[in-house]
Amino acid sequence: MRMIFMIVSTIGLLLLFARKRKFDIFSVAYVSACIYFIPGYFGFVRYPLIQRQIPIHNLTYIVMILVLISLMVFSYLYDKSSNKSVINLVIKDSNFTSGIVFILAIIGFIMMIATSGAVIFSPDRAEMAGSLNRWYTLMRVSASVCAVISYNEGSRKKTLLSMIILLFDVYLGSRTTFAITVVAIILSHYSTKEKMRFLHNNIKKILLISTFGVFMFAYKHIYIYVKMFDWNRIYKEITSLDFYYRAFTFSEPFNTQAILNKVITEDYFIGLSQFKSIIYQAVLFAPSFGAEIRSFNSFFQNDLFGNVSWGMADNIWAQMYSGGRWGLLIIFIVMFNIYILVLSKLIRFKDPTIKGLASLLSLYWVFYIHRNDLSYQINLQKRVILIYLVALLISIIINGTIVKKRRLKQES
């Protein structure tokens, strides 16, 4: 099955990047799946606290192959659709949106420093993570939204300042929001381009993007030394080929696919009851009002990895398999692709705020979904949308106030 997986994934990469087509959300979705399915190329996963390599079950390979084939099929259907032109819809009075989101990011940054204190600079990840709060979430989500919208508006200054805030987040030890934002900007950039053979026309950019990807994998293993200012250790690590092998084979994909592999080999079943918590995502700050939101992790980790004391994240494909076997898994794979089609329409809007919003939502959906469960994935999408809507509403109010003042001035 390993060879079949490698053949299928290679065919998909050639179909999406070697033939003439637009670089789109399906392009990013396919690469994202290949990244999180990296263990499939090596043929093994790593279970926590077990040093040896665990072979990937054939059914685990089938799940990976189904996801990849679905993206190939839906990207082909999307390519064959007749109307993919720019949608000339612009939201009136949205011109202050990115500036307001940037202010929210600054407020989040200042309040995070004020409320968390010096502990955020601690190299102890558990200690640092325990000090982070909603101000931290406001900072990173707002900076991300601002960066992507500002790029689409052509405001390089706000884009750069927002990325500096996200680089601070990287320094703290979290790479995700920075990586998602960078790729969302790349997606926004190429979505305006004509059809191209991406592999043929962008060799230098592909090398640059690949270097960025290697950095994202490697930084997880050196960020502690960065916070300790241990430059000798950093130099020793990044100049060792073994370091990069370990960075890949002990990376998050090997953890998340270990979850899928274990769920399948143990024939682990929870049923649909695990999805009850999703309804609470419709309520703001539901946990503060006593709502119990149970993640997929809260079910499987105790049952399958009871000796592991730290959180193992989630796996959306394992969750679907444990909830309704192959039927639910296939239904969700189809819904996963349908939502990509919806986002593909939104990203064609001329309005830079909608385009930026769609780009960012797309990255959270096609990339980060592989290590989350459905409830948390909805929560991530909700955060981005709420920040955007709050900023948009304030922008509309400000513009309305300006118009009203001008009218009164003219009348007087």
| Cβ–Cβ under 8 Å, residues 160 and 103 | no
Amino acid at 54: I
Using CB atoms within 10 A of its CB, is residue 203 exposed (0-12), middle (13-18) or buried (19+)?
exposed
One digit per residue, pLDDT tens: the chain, 412 residues?
A: 999 999 999 999 999 998 888 899 999 999 999 999 999 999 999 888 776 789 999 999 999 999 999 999 999 999 888 666 778 788 888 899 999 999 999 999 999 999 988 888 888 777 887 788 899 999 999 999 999 999 999 999 999 999 999 999 999 888 899 999 999 999 999 888 888 888 887 888 888 888 988 888 888 889 889 888 899 999 989 988 889 888 888 888 998 999 999 999 999 999 988 888 787 666 666 566 556 678 888 889 888 887 887 778 899 999 999 999 999 999 999 999 999 999 999 998 989 999 999 999 999 999 999 999 999 999 999 999 999 999 999 999 998 888 777 777 776 6
Residue 165: which of 94, 229, 107, 225 has the closest Cα?
Answer: 107
Q: Is 87 helix (H, G, I), strand (E, B) or coil?
A: strand
**Residue 156: other Cβ atoms inside 10 A:** 10
**Residue 166: other Cβ atoms inside 10 A:** 25
* pLDDT of res. 265: 94
**Residue 175: other Cβ atoms inside 10 A:** 19
* pLDDT of res. 277: 76
Tokens of 149: 């919208």
* pLDDT of res. 159: 96
Q: What is the DSSP string of 106-168?
A: HHHHHHHHHHHGGGGG-S-HHHHHHH--HHHHHHHHHHHHHHHHHHHHT-HHHHHHHHHHHHH
Tokens of 125: 């990840």
Alpha carbon distance 362, 188 (integer Å) = 10
| Cβ–Cβ under 8 Å, residues 66 and 330 | yes
* pLDDT of res. 82: 63
* pLDDT of res. 111: 94
Alpha carbon distance 330, 334 (integer Å) = 6
Buried b (16+ CB within 10 A) or exposed e, 358-375: bbbbbbbbbbbbbbbbbb
Cα–Cα distances in Å, from 44 out to 55, 262, 368?
4, 12, 21
* pLDDT of res. 113: 92
| Cβ–Cβ under 8 Å, residues 338 and 287 | no
Look-up: residue for tokens 């805030």? 165
Q: What is the DSSP string of 19-69?
A: SSB---HHHHHHHHHHHHTHHHHHTEE--TT--SPEEPPHHHHHHHHHHHH
| Cβ–Cβ under 8 Å, residues 329 and 317 | yes
DSSP annotation of 196 = B
